[in-house]
Amino acid sequence: MEVRARAPGKIILAGEHAVVHGSSVVAAAVDMYTYVSIRFSTPEDNDDELKLQLKDMALEFSWPAGKLKEVIPELGCSASEIPSYSIGAMKAIASLVEEQTILEDKSGLVSDLSAFLWLYTSIHGNKPATASVSSELPLGAGLGSSAAFCVALSAALLALSDSLLLLIRNMIKFRSGELAHVKSNMPIKMLITNTNVGRNTKALVASVSKRALRHPASMAFVFNAADSISNELADIIQSPIHDDLAITEKEEKFGELMEMNQGYSNLESFGFKCFIAGIGGGGLEISFSSSSS
């Protein structure tokens, strides 16, 4: 039996960094995907391993089923349950990942392999299978490649358990566990450009957290401002449009809020108002174009 699933990438329009500290964020799915296929081994395959193939990197990782059972005794759960592994099991998964040959420039794969082993073994135990992954999303660029990998993988695993997971592409507003759908009533044109400048998401988030600890009162004002920008941006996107003048006015306000949120680059003179996606520091450049551009 083989199943296939996909999950889209995302862009954050407003509220990055601040959402970690309780403010609202506005995000949208993009038409670029990560694809996952999983096939259980059959007796005819004579294959007793769990394999993960990363097609875009031409890499394959494998673990003998017997080794998984030996190292992680608490394997498998019902698809309706939320798996809860012990600290010992998590250390065991880390040891299984450490046994793999991972080049230094691919060290970011450690977390992906750990997520794969945790999700797979928590649902399907040590059952031999081959999982193949390919993606249209550049890694570490701000398009949510890691999240798309985990969502597509989870969807495929649950489908193998006869469960149904619907992936809906739309725009959302999120704050501290509260998720709201944002229905767009205005055309939004975005150009996504990969700057090919790498960045460390964990380090960037940590740097803002440290600043919040050093300057709590000042950073509280910053986070409140970011929250207001996200809320106003969502209101503008959802508000009715009566004529072309209303569209132009909404686009101007949309652009102003994006400018306040993160600032533009010098591409503005070409009709595109641009900013670095996500938490900054490199990655993707998101360019907003008005309907008249």
Structure tokens at 231: 């809320």
Q: Distance between CA 182 and CA 193 in Å, rounded?
A: 24
**Residue 243: other Cβ atoms inside 10 A:** 8
Point out which residues pair with 2 in neighbouring strands. 39
Structure tokens at 11: 């862009």
Q: Distance between CA 141 and CA 224 in Å, rounded?
A: 26
Q: What is the CA radius of gyration of the chain?
A: 22
Cβ(68)–Cβ(96) under 8 Å?
yes
State yes or no: is 112 an active-site residue.
Answer: no
* 189, amino acid identity: K
Query: Where do the H-state alpha helices sit in the chain?
Result: 65-71, 87-98, 109-124, 145-160, 201-214, 216-238, 244-261
Q: Which residue has the tokens 């999700």?
A: 119
Instruction: Please pick, among 31, 105, 162, 243, the residue that the annotation labels catalytic.
Output: 162
HSE of 198, CA atoms in CB hemisphere, 13 A: 7
Q: Which residue has the tokens 């686009």?
A: 251
Q: Is the dihedral of CA 63, 65, 67, 70 positive or negative?
A: positive
Q: Distance between CA 171 and CA 136 in Å, rounded?
A: 20
Catalytic positions, written as ranges: 162
